[in-house]
């Protein structure tokens, strides 16, 4: 996302990780334990489900299922708690929760990036809370009828972010209680209908201290200390004929109050805190790997110096003295350290010269042609990251259709005699596998016209440099390219299609085995070592050796050679990666019916929404013909819709030449992703609107501005209106902030590198004798030293900006930083 607002501070949150496996699932034991059940997991932000694994069918080891599900999503709203639920799914019963793992937001940093086993806890309705409550309290002195003084407490409340009940906004009410050692005075608000952000416009008054003429019988004690009193707020959903549902509570001591002082603050709603933990049966445990990232992104001007220093990297001589290369050196052990650098240089069209320079440096230290680009180096990591970013649509066009066929048909392809199941026919399996390999191989070798131009430019540069480095080897020009496009791109995508969004979930074990065999064969068919060596020698397994002999290797070599020539030639070509219809996102939503006048639940219908690079369409069910199609070029804007329009959360609108299309997504993450992808694909449309209506046109008027003309221009500026390429949608400020964070967390290594530059042994060319300095690439100590000094100065300046803005950060009790109160 381009920088849209140069003044605001943004808190951007993301979550990635893996639900690995469970063990010993299920309470108690007995004949009904794990009988006729399957299992699945979900992820919830507070009470809102945002991710669900596929259902794992019952097996002999169902008490310890392996999920292997990777997840990643941006978190579009504040949250208190991240929870993982394990469910049993039975044929004849509703889904039964086995247990959960709940991690409070402030504790995520303690486990971030680490794999841990977590004990499952019981799912208690009274612990399932979310939202916050605003309290306004004041102590007033009153003069009674007889002229004496008494203290009275006034309380007003409002709430925000209450959970959905059965997918709909709740009907909340609150009880407000003044509690003390010997009293409990409770009052109740009116019920607010269909809202998650109720404003209880009521003021409650409580007598705090007695007047001089009160009767003893009013209280059980003679006098009460005001510091022992507290206000307790409980939120409930009105169940009408059903039981009311607890939504959360908080408790605030009156000792924070002073005379003539109004206390106003937001408090998090908490679960019921009786503090008593009952002993429960062992529910099992869940192995998770969770990485939570929170980026505090400052105004764009704060990053000007850091950004300018990084963008100078491609021209820095030698390249090892550049700030980007120095970051790679000090963060060598962090796999994704270079990703923000790659994205930043990519956005500013500076990636090609940088990648070429670091690849040339690596080639200088490569002694044998058959080991070219085989290690996990700075150059290979950057090129890997580049291919994942710009090659996503290329993979979709090339592999998705054939991978869908492989995964959905589920033919047996096992050719290892040891792993064959009873009744399997190895010759039939070999024929199935050969057919799949041929389809994948053909899809790849016929896809050169779809290869993104930047990938072609990088491959052409690698080919030329490799030929120059090893002029006596005629094959090295091909191996330099094949080591990336086959071994690190296509083979990896075939092996793990879910990580490239080619499949929605991790494949089951049998499909995963098939993909492994296909990937191994594709790697060998596409590899281009010395052709004087027989490729069959690369297989350790006899069964793979025999299987590979079934391919006509000479014909495959010619196809690979032509493909590599096409994607690395000097001929400039236009990418056709987006010429074919490319599915960008699809899923189930609720859509408001078009053209109806009646309001209510019947106006919303479940539909399958699908967006490609060409059109947005909705269907009655997945795979059915489209009921309505909106060409992408006709989209004029994509914006959130106010919850108040239809009393529904997670709604957005697609504004086009006809009436707006109103859509409700399944959760906040889904809504954010729909808005993002639709905004990206339509950003270059020349007719995009500058303003929009944040609410709906109902009953003859816009609910937002109350204008009666349906064609009236919008009353609020549109967001995300800057045109950018759909494939290069990059938030440069966020990437620069991440680079700052990585430099800041590796200051010790940066200092060691600076010491290495200053060391006499480095100047004398004896760097290898200093073991602690051998991890750094220092070609020119003086130039490198100067860059490190510049990096340090920029880091100090940017840290000062953080300190300044941190001092202006939200005070405890603000809406963005609510107080964690107490429970009863």
Burial class (CB in 10 A: 0-12, 13-18, 19+), 748: exposed
Judge contact between 666 and 589, C-beta under 8 A.
Answer: yes
Least confident of 410-424, 619-633, 787-801: 410-424
Sign for the pseudo-dihedral over CA of 231, 232, 237, 242? negative
Residue 2: which pLDDT band, with cuts at 50, 70 and 90?
very low
94-128 per-position pLDDT tens digit = 788 899 999 988 899 899 888 999 999 988 777 77
**Cα atoms found within 13 Å of the Cα of residue 470, Cβ hemisphere only:** 21
Residues near 615 by beta carbon (within 8 Å), at least 6 away in sequence: 581, 629, 630, 631, 632
Judge contact between 38 and 61, C-beta under 8 A.
Answer: no
**Residue written as token pair 């050169």:** 448
Q: Which residue has the higher pLDDT, 443 or 541?
A: 443
Question: Which tokens hold the place of 232?
Answer: 């307790």
**Residue written as token pair 């990437």:** 735
* H-run or E-run covering 141: strand 132-143
β-sheet bridge partners, residue 233: 176, 250
pLDDT at 362 over 50: yes
Judge contact between 56 and 40, C-beta under 8 A.
Answer: yes
Least confident of 245-259, 337-351, 471-485: 245-259
Question: Which tokens hold the place of 305?
Answer: 């110096």
Dmax (CA) for the chain in angstroms is: 111
**Using CA atoms, how far apart are residues 154 and 144, in angstroms rounded to an integer?**
16
Judge contact between 730 and 1, C-beta under 8 A.
Answer: yes
**Using CA atoms, how far apart are residues 589 and 627, in angstroms rounded to an integer?**
14
The conformation of residue 489, written as its DSSP 8-state character, comes to I
Residue 221: which pLDDT band, with cuts at 50, 70 and 90?
very low
Nearest residue to 786 via CA among 762, 753, 764, 761: 753
Q: Is 185 helix (H, G, I), strand (E, B) or coil?
A: strand
413-424 per-position pLDDT tens digit = 988 888 888 888
pLDDT at 142 over 90: no
The conformation of residue 413, written as its DSSP 8-state character, comes to -
Residue 465 has what pLDDT? Answer: 94
**Strand 661-664 vs strand 697-698: parallel, antiparallel, or unpaired?**
unpaired
Nearest residue to 702 via CA among 687, 689, 712, 690: 712
Question: Which tokens hold the place of 778?
Answer: 């220092």
Nearest residue to 489 via CA among 449, 531, 447, 435: 447
Judge contact between 527 and 548, C-beta under 8 A.
Answer: no
Residue 281: which pLDDT band, with cuts at 50, 70 and 90?
low
Question: Which tokens hold the place of 455?
Answer: 């990938």
Residues near 745 by beta carbon (within 8 Å), at least 6 away in sequence: none
**Bond preceding residue 646 cis, omega within 30 of 0:** no
Least confident of 385-394, 533-542, 557-566, 701-710: 533-542
Residue 9 has what pLDDT? Answer: 85
Residue 807 has what pLDDT? Answer: 62
**Bond preceding residue 755 cis, omega within 30 of 0:** no
Burial readout 624-648 (b: 16 or more C-beta within 10 A, e: otherwise): eeeeeebebebbbbbbbbbbbbbeb
**Domains in the chain, ordered, with CATH?**
10-120+285-291 (2.60.40.150), 132-211+225-268 (2.60.40.150), 298-365+735-823 (no CATH), 391-567 (1.10.506.10), 583-594+602-717 (2.30.29.30)
Q: What does 604-660 look like in DSSP terms, one character per residue?
A: EEEEEEEEESSEEEEESSTTSPEEEEEEGGGEEEEEE--GGGTT-SSEEEEEESSSP
**Residue written as token pair 């995300």:** 720
The count of other CB atoms within 10 Å of the CB of residue 357 is 22
Least confident of 157-171, 659-673, 790-804: 157-171
570-624 per-position pLDDT tens digit = 554 444 434 456 788 899 999 987 654 444 445 789 999 999 888 999 999 988 9
The conformation of residue 418, written as its DSSP 8-state character, comes to G
452-472 per-position pLDDT tens digit = 999 999 999 999 999 999 999
Mean pLDDT of 700-711: 90
Cα-flanking dihedrals φ and ψ of residue 131, to 5°? 105, 180
Residue 210 has what pLDDT? Answer: 56
**Using CA atoms, how far apart are residues 220 and 180, in angstroms rounded to an integer?**
11
How far, rounded to the nearest angstrom, does the alpha carbon of residue 287 sit from its chain's CA centroid?
Answer: 19
Question: Which tokens hold the place of 507?
Answer: 């494949």
Residues near 555 by beta carbon (within 8 Å), at least 6 away in sequence: none
**Using CA atoms, how far apart are residues 804 and 649, in angstroms rounded to an integer?**
36
Residue 808 has what pLDDT? Answer: 60
**Residue written as token pair 């296509």:** 490
**Using CA atoms, how far apart are residues 701 and 711, in angstroms rounded to an integer?**
10
Cα-flanking dihedrals φ and ψ of residue 413, to 5°? -130, 15
Q: Mean of the per-residue pLDDT values for the chain?
A: 84
**Using CA atoms, how far apart are residues 567 and 573, in angstroms rounded to an integer?**
9
Judge contact between 389 and 726, C-beta under 8 A.
Answer: no
How far, rounded to the nearest angstrom, does the alpha carbon of residue 695 sit from its chain's CA centroid?
Answer: 28
Judge contact between 11 and 296, C-beta under 8 A.
Answer: yes
**Strand 149-160 vs strand 132-143: parallel, antiparallel, or unpaired?**
antiparallel
Global confidence as pTM: 0.80
Question: Which tokens hold the place of 452?
Answer: 């993104």
Least confident of 313-322, 442-451, 455-464, 563-572: 563-572
Residues near 594 by beta carbon (within 8 Å), at least 6 away in sequence: 628, 659, 661
Question: Which tokens hold the place of 46?
Answer: 């507070």
Q: What does 559-586 look like in DSSP terms, one character per residue?
A: HHHHHHHHHHSSS-----TTTS--EEEE
């Amino acid at each position: 996302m381009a920088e849209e607002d140069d003044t605001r501070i943004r808190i951007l949150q993301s979550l990635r990780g893996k639900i690995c496996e469970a063990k010993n699932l299920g309470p108690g034991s007995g004949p009904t334990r794990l009988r006729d059940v399957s299992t699945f997991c979900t992820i919830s932000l507070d009470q809102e489900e945002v991710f669900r694994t596929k259902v794992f069918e019952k097996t002999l080891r169902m008490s310890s299922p392996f999920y292997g599900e990777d997840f990643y999503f941006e978190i579009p709203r504040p949250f208190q708690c991240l929870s993982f639920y394990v469910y049993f799914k039975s044929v004849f019963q509703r889904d039964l929760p086995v247990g959960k793992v709940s991690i409070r937001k402030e504790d995520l940093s303690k486990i971030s990036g680490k794999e841990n086993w977590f004990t499952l806890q019981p799912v208690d309705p009274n612990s399932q809370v979310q939202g916050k409550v605003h309290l306004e309290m004041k102590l007033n002195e009153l003069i009674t009828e007889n002229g004496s003084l008494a203290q009275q407490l006034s309380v007003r409340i409002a709430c925000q972010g209450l959970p959905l009940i059965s997918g709909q906004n709740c009907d909340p009410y609150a009880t407000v209680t003044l509690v003390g050692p010997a009293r409990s005075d409770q009052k109740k608000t009116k019920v607010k209908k269909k809202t998650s952000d109720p404003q209880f416009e009521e003021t409650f008054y409580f007598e705090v201290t007695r007047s001089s003429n009160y009767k003893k019988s009013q209280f059980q004690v003679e006098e009460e200390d005001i510091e022992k009193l507290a206000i307790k707020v409980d939120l409930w959903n009105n169940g009408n004929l059903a039981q009311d549902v607890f939504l959360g509570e908080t408790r605030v001591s009156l000792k924070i109050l002073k005379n003539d002082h109004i206390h106003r603050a937001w408090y998090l709603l908490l679960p019921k805190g009786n503090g008593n933990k009952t002993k429960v049966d062992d529910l099992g445990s869940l192995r998770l790997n969770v990485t939570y990232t929170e980026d505090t992104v400052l105004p764009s001007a704060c990053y000007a110096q850091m950004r300018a220093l990084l963008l100078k990297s491609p021209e820095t001589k030698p390249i090892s003295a550049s700030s980007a290369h120095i970051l790679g050196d000090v963060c060598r052990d962090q796999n994704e350290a270079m990703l923000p650098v790659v994205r930043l240089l990519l956005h500013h069209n500076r990636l090609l010269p940088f990648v070429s320079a670091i690849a040339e440096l690596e080639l200088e230290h490569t002694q044998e042609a058959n080991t070219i680009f085989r290690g996990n180096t700075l150059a290979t990591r950057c090129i890997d990251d580049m291919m994942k970013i710009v090659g996503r649509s290329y993979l979709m066009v090339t592999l998705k259709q054939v991978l869908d066929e492989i995964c959905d048909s589920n033919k047996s392809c096992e050719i290892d005699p040891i792993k064959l199941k009873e009744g399997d026919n190895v010759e039939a399996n070999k024929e199935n596998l050969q057919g799949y390999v041929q389809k994948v191989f053909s899809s790849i070798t016929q896809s050169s016209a779809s290869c993104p131009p930047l990938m072609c430019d990088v491959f052409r540069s690698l080919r030329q440099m490799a030929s120059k480095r090893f002029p006596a080897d005629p094959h090295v020009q091909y191996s330099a390219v094949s080591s990336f496009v086959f071994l690190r791109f296509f083979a990896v995508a075939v092996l793990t299609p879910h990580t490239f969004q080619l499949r929605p979930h991790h494949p089951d074990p049998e499909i995963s085995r098939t993909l492994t065999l296909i990937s191994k064969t594709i790697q060998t068919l596409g590899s281009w070592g010395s052709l004087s060596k027989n490729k069959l020698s690369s297989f350790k397994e006899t069964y793979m050796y025999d299987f590979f002999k079934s391919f006509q290797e000479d014909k495959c070599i010619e196809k690979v050679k032509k493909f590599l020539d096409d994607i690395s030639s000097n001929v400039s070509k236009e990418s056709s990666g987006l010429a074919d219809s490319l599915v960008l996102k699809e899923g189930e939503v609720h859509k408001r019916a078009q053209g109806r006048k009646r309001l209510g639940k019947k106006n919303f219908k479940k539909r399958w929404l699908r967006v490609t690079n060409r059109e947005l369409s909705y269907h009655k069910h997945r795979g059915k013909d489209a009921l309505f199609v909106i060409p992408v070029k006709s989209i004029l804007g994509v914006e959130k819709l106010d919850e108040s329009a239809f009393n529904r959360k997670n709604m957005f609108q697609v504004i086009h030449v006809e009436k707006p299309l109103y859509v409700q997504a399944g959760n906040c993450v889904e809504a954010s992703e729909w808005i993002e992808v639709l905004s990206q694909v339509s950003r270059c449309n020349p007719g995009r609107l500058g303003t929009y209506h944040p609410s709906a046109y109902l009953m003859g008027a816009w609910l937002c501005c109350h204008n009666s003309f349906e064609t009236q221009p919008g009353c609020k500026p549109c967001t995300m209106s800057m045109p950018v390429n759909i494939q290069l949608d990059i938030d440069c400020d966020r990437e620069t902030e991440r680079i700052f964070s990585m430099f800041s967390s590796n200051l010790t290594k940066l200092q060691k590198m600076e010491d290495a530059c200053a060391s006499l042994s480095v100047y004398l060319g004896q760097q290898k004798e200093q073991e602690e300095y051998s991890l750094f690439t220092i070609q020119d100590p003086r130039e490198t030293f100067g860059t490190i000094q510049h990096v340090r100065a920029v880091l100090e300046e940017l840290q000062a900006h953080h300190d300044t803005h941190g001092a202006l950060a939200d005070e405890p009790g603000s809406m963005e930083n609510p107080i964690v109160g107490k429970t009863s």
